[in-house]
Structure 1
Amino acid sequence: MSELLFKNMELTRGFFLKSIAGLNEEIVDVQPEGFNNTIKWHIGHVLTSAEQFMFGYPKKTTSIPANYMELFATGTKPSDWQGEVPSVSELTAQLKDQLMRMKEIPAERFSEKLPTPFLGQETFGEISNFSLFHESIHLGQIQAMKRVIEAAKTK
């Protein structure tokens, strides 16, 4: 199972990184009508959520700043942001680093039971798979937002 999961991690994160690689900085902070957040929020949310699922952030890992919870956790929004907000290039570098750390997780860990099931997921492998599913949802949001923003700019 872990080999398939690692392959899926690389595939999913690869598509995610490719999708955000050429983003114009002018559009990442635009919140188009009908959307709850911005492209930058989605990028940070994917990073923060994966860190929670895979590494127990914020209590068990210091690989990303603690203030990312206030910026990118579920229920947050850019209009409430205070202080320093990372750039897309910073978030991208952290996403790449995170993938490298995910690939170093020992294979036997994926069969470990979670202390408390989360959304029906009972093992670390299941929650890891859910994390990839979650990332794909946000990739779709980013792609849709980019198209809406770019279409509005041409009118």
Structure 2
Amino acid sequence: MEAYFTLLQTTRQNFLRLLDKLDTDTLNQIPPGFNNNLGWHLGHLVVTPQLLLYRLSGLETQASEHLIEQFRKGTKPSEPLEATIIEKLKQSFADFPARLKSDFVRGLFQEFSPYETSYGFGLSSFEDALLFNNTHEGVHYGYALSLKRALGA
């Protein structure tokens, strides 16, 4: 399991480096051929593990229902994100791996509701969900690299 937590932390550090020094306008820009932006990807990666890891384990999420509805699977940006919201998302994104590991060590993840992902991978445990979440975050990191390149940023 330690490798799963390390991979999550590493992917998130790389994602934050990718966003480093990009202004709010750039994070909100949707280039031709894309249906979302870097800010949306950040929000999506804040929300998704809350659903996969906490909610499916019968635990309360740290993300508000409003945030979940704004960034869950199947959504796209409806309005530009303000700089203050982006900074809060970045902080939540950065803090999450340590909190998740702490909650795991404390034994909070005892229950799990099985879930079939749209990717076709069935989740039957917290461990499955963390493995899938890491794959999901790697996919979105790749999308973010493409978006940044398309923006010329």
Under TM normalisation by the shorter chain, which class is it?
A: 0.7 to 0.9
**Whole-Å separation in 2 of the counterparts to 1:61 and 1:97:** 17
TM-score, normalised on structure 1? Answer: 0.80
CA–CA distance in 1 between the matches of 2:12 and 2:81?
Answer: 28
Mark the CA change 1:100 to 1:37 in structure 2 (over 3 Å): closer, same or farther: same
SS at match of 1:114: coil
Partner of 2:41: 42
Question: Aligned to 1:74, what secondary structure does the other structure show?
Answer: coil
Question: Match for residue 94 of structure 1?
Answer: 92
Q: Where in structure 2 are there 5+ consecutive unaligned residues?
A: none
Q: Give ranges in structure 1 of 5+ residues lacking alignment.
A: none
Question: In structure 2, what is the equivalent of residue 115 of structure 1?
Answer: 113
From 127, 130, 135, the equivalent of 1:128 is 130
| Count, aligned residues | 148
The CA RMSD measured in Å over matched residues stands at 2.9
CA pair 61-114 structure 1, distance change in 2 beyond 3 A: closer
Find the aligned partners of 1:18 and 1:54 in 2 and give their Cα distance: 24
CA distance change for structure 1 residues 55 and 134 in 2, over 3 Å: closer, same or farther? same
Deviation >4 Å, runs of 4+: 81-86, 107-113
Q: Distance in 2 between matches of 1:62 and 1:108?
A: 16
Larger radius of gyration: 1
Alignment partner, residue 144 of structure 2: 142
**Kept in 2: contact 1:55–1:61 (CA 8 A):** yes
Asked whether the 8 Å contact 1:110–1:125 carries over to 2, the reply is no
Query: Partner of 2:12 in structure 1?
Result: 13
- Give % identity: 26
